Copies of this chain bind each other. A is one copy, B any other.
């Protein structure tokens, strides 16, 4: 492939994502929905204009990392401390209820298998796929509505980060159940070490950034160094600690959110994001979908899978929020905000595939879950915020 052929894909992706984003906004739906639909339309499933190439995947990965870095930069640390305990409970319920309900759903559809059999592990794994919340679409929708800094927004964000960590631990446990070489203890230790590392390394780099920022305020070097720092922490998190790169990027944002120029960094990141990487990330979710492999029994399974996955998060996280004294509407918002799935669900599925726990055909169900949750969440969130604003009047 010649280097210049990427420009064809980029031109189509950027213009289609922007166009359908605007159309979505005209229809009072959030822009990201339009961008995902754009990917679906130009992708191999419908028009076939753009394929899911390795380059697009890598650009999309940069897009999601920038999005999480930007979310981290906008974090209100005082608010995070306030939301911490509630977020922990919401995340725990948001992991374990989908895990259990997913396994039960698999049993109901294909018949229950005895403990320790292959069918049992497969069922548990279907539940595991349902655990990982992918908060980036919710973040983007909340940001668009200007609700990211609210108590509900911050709680969802904190809960999703904790959810991600617990979800990855569950994944390693489940795979470890089958494979005697994986030691669940190692995962716990790695996660703990990443926290210690983030605290120590984060504190040192925060001090350095603060000093440089004070000496050279509002210069190019601050956002550039911030960007490199975000990339570095994304890599370190995944490579050395087995934590998702987006968690590293989010931590990088949190570490830098208290320096004076954090808004200045965020502003430059946002321009990079909305011009190129953001639209590519959201459109690439649509691109991944090929509806040709769909058979009737699989379609039935997929519909059930999507419904269970969505309801399990709403029930699990919503109930936990209600226990933490959120009112009914805010609990519902948190449940709905936590129900989006994204690239983490695909990564989990890929790991399960290589461990022999699922067949490739189930990817279609996962992709359907990602699309339905990505399209539905922002719309429902918008309606819920609208509703509770009406009630407040």
- Contact residues of A with B, CB < 8 Å? 2-8, 10-11, 14-15, 18, 22, 54-55, 57-58, 61-62, 65, 220-221, 223-225, 227-229, 231-232, 234-235, 238-239, 245, 268, 271-272, 274-276, 279
Contacts and interface: CB of A to CB of B under 8 A. Distances in A.
A340 B223 CA distance: 30
A281 to B, nearest CB: 12
B275 A7 contact: no
A268 B270 CA distance: 11
Closest 5 CB pairs of A and B: A11-B231, A11-B232, A15-B228, A7-B235, A4-B245
A228 B11 contact: yes
Q: Number of copies of this chain in the oligomer?
A: 2
24 contacts: A3-B57, A3-B58, A4-B61, A4-B234, A5-B235, A7-B245, A8-B232, A10-B228, A11-B228, A11-B232, A15-B224, A15-B232, A18-B221, A18-B224, A18-B225, A22-B221, A54-B54, A220-B274, A223-B275, A224-B279, A268-B271, A271-B271, A272-B272, A272-B275
B274 A235 contact: no
B274 A231 contact: no
Nearest to A271: B271
Contact of A14 (B18, B65, B228): B228
Contact of A227 (B65, B220, B276): B276
Contacts of A221: 18, 22
A87 B54 CA distance: 41
A235 B4 contact: yes
Contacts of A11: 228-229, 231-232, 235
Nearest to A2: B238
Given A223-B275, A271-B271, 15 more contacts: A4-B234, A4-B239, A5-B239, A6-B58, A7-B231, A8-B235, A10-B228, A10-B231, A11-B228, A11-B231, A14-B228, A14-B231, A224-B274, A224-B279, A268-B275
Given A227-B275, A228-B15, A7 B65 contact: yes
Nearest to A224: B18
